[in-house]
């Protein structure tokens, strides 16, 4: 199966790519390299002896997302793409909303247009804010304290609403 890894050239995305290849999947990295480096692709090749396919692209580019999903006959998406600095999110909250929230909605829209309904979203523990108890469990109260955490929670809520509308 071909799996699209948005933000796949980042730290977590690249490690996921290595493991997916070892498991027999064919990952396709989709990344704009704003938080990563093209050399990551070469490093994955050095580790596994297989260079993943990659597309230099932004999750805000609906047409490129859609054509990538079709071109590579993607069966599932693992979504790591987004901005990730708490400090920067405080300085640029609208940018974090645009990239993290609107970019994620754009990805889902492209997936729907291609009849792809399998998505793994990488959120963040920042959605919990200051822990009320440890360890943090899934039923922990959600109270993000910065625009980065808020953007991640907004995507979680969007995906939950979407799932509730289409339970299959």
Residue 148 annotated among the catalytic residues of the structure? yes
Q: Which of 121, 123, 122 is nearest to 144 (CA)?
A: 123
Cα–Cα distances (Å) from 68 to 32, 45, 85, 95, in that order, read: 14, 21, 27, 24
H/E stretch holding 103 reads helix 103-113
Question: What ranges make up the beta strands (E) of the chain?
Answer: 2-6, 26-31, 53-56, 74-79, 119-121
Q: Which of 30, 96, 128, 148 is catalytic?
A: 148
Phi–psi pair at 55, nearest 5 degrees: -130, 125
Query: What amino acid positions are annotated as catalytic residues?
Result: 148
């Amino acid at each position: 199966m071909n799996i699209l890894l948005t933000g796949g050239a980042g730290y977590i995305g690249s490690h996921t790519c290595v493991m997916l290849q070892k498991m027999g999947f064919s990952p396709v990295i989709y990344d704009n390299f704003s938080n990563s480096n093209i050399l990551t692709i070469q490093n994955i090749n050095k580790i596994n002896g297989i260079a993943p396919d990659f597309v230099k692209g932004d999750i805000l580019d609906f047409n490129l997302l859609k054509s990538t999903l079709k071109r590579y006959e993607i069966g599932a998406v693992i979504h790591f793409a987004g901005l990730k600095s708490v400090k920067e999110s405080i300085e640029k909250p609208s940018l974090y909303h645009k990239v993290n929230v609107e970019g994620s909605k754009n990805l889902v829209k492209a997936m729907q247009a291609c009849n792809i309904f399998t998505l793994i979203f990488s959120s963040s523990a920042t959605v919990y804010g200051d822990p009320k108890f440890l360890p943090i469990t899934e039923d922990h109260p959600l109270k993000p304290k910065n625009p980065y955490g808020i953007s991640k929670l907004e995507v979680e809520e969007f995906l939950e609403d979407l799932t509730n509308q289409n339970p299959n």
